[in-house]
Amino acid sequence: MFKKILIANRGEIACRIMCTAQQFGIQTVAIYSEADQHAMHVKHADEAFCVGPAASSQSYLNVDKILDVAKQTGAEAIHPGYGFLAENAEFAERCEQERLIFIGPPSSAIRAMGSKSAAKQLLEKVQVPLVPGYHGDKQDEKFLAEQAKKIGFPVLLKAALGGGGKGMRIVENAKEFSAALASAQREAQASFGDAKMLIEKYIVKPRHVEVQVFADQHGNCVHLFERDCSIQRRHQKIIEEAPAPGMTDELREAMTHAAIKAAKAINYVGAGTIEFLLDADDQFYFMEMNTRLQVEHPVTEMITGTDLVAWQLKVAAGEELPLSQDKINLHGHAFETRIYAEDPDNNFLPSIGHIHYLHEPTASKHVRIDTGIQQDDDISIHYDPMIAKLVVWGEDRQAALQQLQQALAEFNVLGVKSNLNFLRTIVAIDDFAKANLSTSFIPEHEKQLAPQETKTSQTALSLASLFSAIQQQTQQNRIAEQQQESNSPWFIADAWQANRAHKYTLFLQGEATFAVAIEYHHNDYTLTLPKHDYDDLINAKQKSKQTSLRISGQYNATNHELNATIAGRTLQARVIAYKNEITVIHNQTKHTFSYYDPSSKYSEDDISAGHLLSPMPGNVIAVMADKGKTVARGEALLIIEAMKMEHTIYAPQEGTVKEMPFTIGDLVAEGDELVIFEE
């Protein structure tokens, strides 16, 4: 076994590999960019080296620098994780040339499956079922349009060297083909350095089912059952499960047999995934092979009791597979959800910012958290915005689903937007519970997944008010101690007023502005809440008038826990204050209030229809309108890209482009004025 390995990756997967390596007593070397200096994977490694600026092309893809670090530290092998260099045949060859072991498949296997079109031509020869389509080299637009028409719409455009949903577009009809092709080619070029496209028949409502295969250098090849990865947004998986629901013994046998046949056809070694589309008639078609460890590998580990990274290390060191096929057993059911810093209510745009609060469910034999992010980290423009992978296991699918729902309820992130509520809603949908799955699940349940109007909780408002009163009193006591004036009336935080009750008014803003009267007593407070149509009522009889509540409590700033008694009822909540906001997490629901000063003057938002602002930080990759051009409503004006995701700015009305402040290659910040437009 190796004594030291270098991990040519970052974040969650780097931490995951380190965990297993350290169990083997293997020292780990991390690489990091200037933006990742304080990242979790850097702290967990035995050694860490900066390999360049924030841009991945100058750091995590800097092959020469990475190999220099490996040789400098005496690393014997390099684990590429997934993404970046994991499926780069040239990098695997460079490792071989430098006498470093590449912990992955041989470069010939990566190259054979790296091109989707070449892979399909190869697998067609060994009779692995394929989706009808065009996988050739001829790439002019007119020819590709003819091929799409011949295959029959709808068709799916896919980057030949793609993965992760990048460079992929569904085209419903011939009119949409040209624009979709151009967009897919741009994204493919940016993501993979090659704009080559293939075209496939788009199968309506398929399931995405993939088989985990593993092979060693001694000719042994096994499968570790299948995973269902049908719940996707933007063709990227967000919920995976194993085993796939509804699999018959016959279907599983046929699919796993085809997967092993595909792996053997390219003399595969290491961990790999054969991905299939499964239609409503249980016919399956090869889609692609990922020649690396997959993001969703933990669900396979949970149901088979294996450590796939340990298998990778052993196979790369020349050992045989730890288990033969007849010794690999399936037990229970597992789910994985990918928790992203993104805004599902705004087309899943990445949410860039500082994580000022992160609370994860407690890890156990049923719950696992894989992450490379911790509280006070930043989500940047440069890398994938995944915060964590939440993995759960149960004796069967229903038990696992209950574990998942509970764990998602306990998971909370503040400071950036996240897809947590979106995931919670998905796993509560009846069709999901019944395993009525397909890759079109999210658009089919659009109404159920749409953001719901939320009313203010009377309990949450009371807790926020109590927290504010406790904080004010704590702050005044601290100042009094510092000034050594503990008995001075100027430092007594009890809202003292001559000849009146000790009372003041707190203004909090949620879905409305609330004036809460707080009256101080010796050990507790009386809150007077304004009349409002609350989501919950502590006393239903007081619905039509102001509510007065006796309330007391204690706040633990270390774990953000507020223990409160409201009108004789004891409850617990987490309350987090950040900048001008108070967030109350109670009964698995989050409510956020901001302090409001009614004496200040707030101007109306001065953003007019004539000023089109950037919805996220990014780079300008295309400009379709020049200054002075007259455009129609809905006409594309400019495209920005962040994290390899495109966002198009459209004309809000018929009008004229007065100014175009940015050009291709410019970096823009969120809120930057991209187009000055006159209706």
Q: What are phi and psi of 257, to 5 degrees?
A: -65, -45
**Residue 181 contacts residue 416 (beta carbons within 8 Å):** no
* Residue in 403, 208, 242, 209 with CA at minimum distance from that of residue 328: 242
Amino acid 603: pLDDT: 36
Pick from 31-40, 71-80, 146-155, 485-494: least confident: 485-494
Say yes or no to pLDDT of 340 above 80.
yes
Where does the pLDDT of residue 605 fall: very low under 50, low under 70, confident under 90, or very high at 90 and above?
very low
Amino acid 469: pLDDT: 92
In a 3-state reduction of DSSP, which class is residue 552? strand
Where does the pLDDT of residue 609 fall: very low under 50, low under 70, confident under 90, or very high at 90 and above?
very low
Q: What is the pLDDT of residues 96-135, one digit of tens each?
A: 999 999 999 999 999 999 877 788 888 888 889 988 899 8
Q: How far is CA 599 from CA 397, 417, 496, 507, 606, in A?
A: 55, 30, 22, 11, 21
Amino acid 504: pLDDT: 82
Where does the pLDDT of residue 166 fall: very low under 50, low under 70, confident under 90, or very high at 90 and above?
confident
Helix crossing, 11-23 with 308-316: angle to 10°? 70
Q: What class has domain 132-201?
A: alpha beta
Q: Which sequence spans correspond to the domains of the chain? A: 4-103, 132-201, 458-595, 611-678
How far apart are the C-alpha atoms of 5 and 7, rounded to whole Å? 7
CATH of 4-103, one of 3.40.50.2300, 3.40.50.20, 2.60.40.10, 3.40.50.1950: 3.40.50.20
Say yes or no to pLDDT of 479 above 90.
no
Q: What percent of the chain has pLDDT over 70?
A: 93
* Residue in 165, 155, 154, 18 with CA at minimum distance from that of residue 81: 18
Q: What is the pLDDT of residues 615-636, one digit of tens each?
A: 778 889 889 988 999 988 888 8
Angle at 326 between CA 324 and CA 327, to 5 degrees: 65
Hey, what are 165's tokens? 């949903």
Amino acid 554: pLDDT: 95
Amino acid 473: pLDDT: 83
For residue 396, give the amino acid letter. Answer: D
How far apart are the C-alpha atoms of 259 and 273, rounded to whole Å? 8
Amino acid 488: pLDDT: 65
**Residue 599 contacts residue 515 (beta carbons within 8 Å):** no
**Residue 118 contacts residue 276 (beta carbons within 8 Å):** no
Amino acid 608: pLDDT: 41
Element (H, E) at 677: strand 673-678
Where does the pLDDT of residue 486 fall: very low under 50, low under 70, confident under 90, or very high at 90 and above?
low
The CATH code of the domain at 458-595 is 3.30.700
The CATH code of the domain at 611-678 is 2.40.50.100
Write the DSSP symbol of residue 307. -
Q: What is the pLDDT of residues 31-66, one digit of tens each?
A: 999 999 999 999 999 999 999 999 999 999 999 999
Tell me the average pLDDT across 578-598: 88
The pTM of the full predicted model, rounded to 2 decimals, is 0.80
Amino acid 544: pLDDT: 52
Structural Rg of the chain based on CA atoms: 28
Where in 513-629 does DSSP place strands (E)?
513-520, 525-529, 547-556, 561-566, 569-578, 581-586, 589-595, 611-613, 618-623
Q: What is the pLDDT of residues 401-424, one digit of tens each?
A: 999 999 999 999 999 999 999 999
Tokens 């001559």 sit on residue: 498
Element (H, E) at 637: strand 636-642
Average pLDDT over the chain, rounded to an integer: 90
Higher confidence at residue 91 or residue 607? 91
Q: Which residues carry out catalysis? A: 292
